[in-house]
Amino acid sequence: MIEQTTGHDVAIISADTDSHGLSMRDPATGRVYIAVAATPHPMRQRSTLAHELAHVIFEDWEGHDRDGERPMQEIRADAFARHLLAPSSGVQQTTERAAGDPSGHLSDVVQRYLVSPAIAAIVLADCGLISAETKTDLMGLTTYQVAARNGWLDQYRSLQDASNRQRAPQSLLRRATAAYSEGLIGLPIIAALRGLPLATVQAEFDDLGITPQPADPTAFELDELPAVEVDLTGLAGDEPDR
């Protein structure tokens, strides 16, 4: 969604467990890149994406060191992510349509907005729908527990599968596929970009009819070829022996 809406490049990469995401801007081109870690925690990944998007929007390109204190830019990015992913107006409508206890409301919000129980509990409390004590209790739950107790564990596992896979930026894959179709690059490059076995990508492309086209030498006019100057002075010398 971020790629389609903003045009920024987004990648899901393999990273250390302590690494969640980063955003950067090429000073020469102004192009923005966002990368988040592949993880079996899909709600965390979505929060990280929204958090990094906040840094891009507010142009938080410089690091901020406040002697161990969490910088204001990080706190602001957290708040932005929470309001973007689970807007209060939507959460209120969701709970109005659903009957149940606070844990049921929590499940509805987590499942509908794909946010962590912690974020859902904070928003529910901000809307005055649960008490501060209940918020603290619900924030201790994991998404796995919420999904298992409320009958949507299979959906959660499918989300885990998607969030735990590496993915290159869509624009890069689009250009790479076009280059392959024109015979400019080989399929192993696309397989490497997607983090998939070559045989898997080959089978997909065969099924879709995506094949490299051989270069057509007649596509070039003679006058379009670059001029070539050949220096023959190095060949001058004595007559060869006969």
1-22 pLDDT tens trace: 889 889 999 999 998 877 789 9
Instruction: Tell me whether residue 225 is in a domain.
Output: no
Q: Which domain holds residue 145?
A: 1-163
Q: Which of 163, 179, 197 is the last residue of a domain?
A: 163
Instruction: Output the pLDDT for position 18.
Output: 76
Same domain, yes or no, for 58 and 139?
yes
Instruction: Output the pLDDT for position 63.
Output: 65
Return d(Cα 173, Cα 179) in angstroms, integer: 10
Instruction: Tell me whether residue 219 is in a domain.
Output: no
Instruction: Tell me whether residue 228 is in a domain.
Output: no
Q: Which of 135, 163, 191 is the last residue of a domain?
A: 163
Same domain, yes or no, for 106 and 183?
no
Same domain, yes or no, for 154 and 41?
yes
Structure tokens at 85: 């992913």
Same domain, yes or no, for 180 and 133?
no
Same domain, yes or no, for 203 and 128?
no
Same domain, yes or no, for 140 and 194?
no
Same domain, yes or no, for 116 and 21?
yes
The CA dihedral of 144, 146, 149, 155, to the nearest 10 degrees, is: -60
Same domain, yes or no, for 159 and 175?
no
Same domain, yes or no, for 10 and 105?
yes
Return d(Cα 173, Cα 181) in angstroms, integer: 12
Return d(Cα 19, Cα 36) in angstroms, integer: 8
Strand order in the sheet with 32-37: 9-13, 32-37, 21-25
Q: Report mean pLDDT in 10-residue bins for the chain, 242 residues.
A: 90 86 92 95 97 95 71 95 96 79 92 97 95 96 98 98 95 95 94 94 97 73 65 57 50
Return d(Cα 159, Cα 217) in angstroms, integer: 48
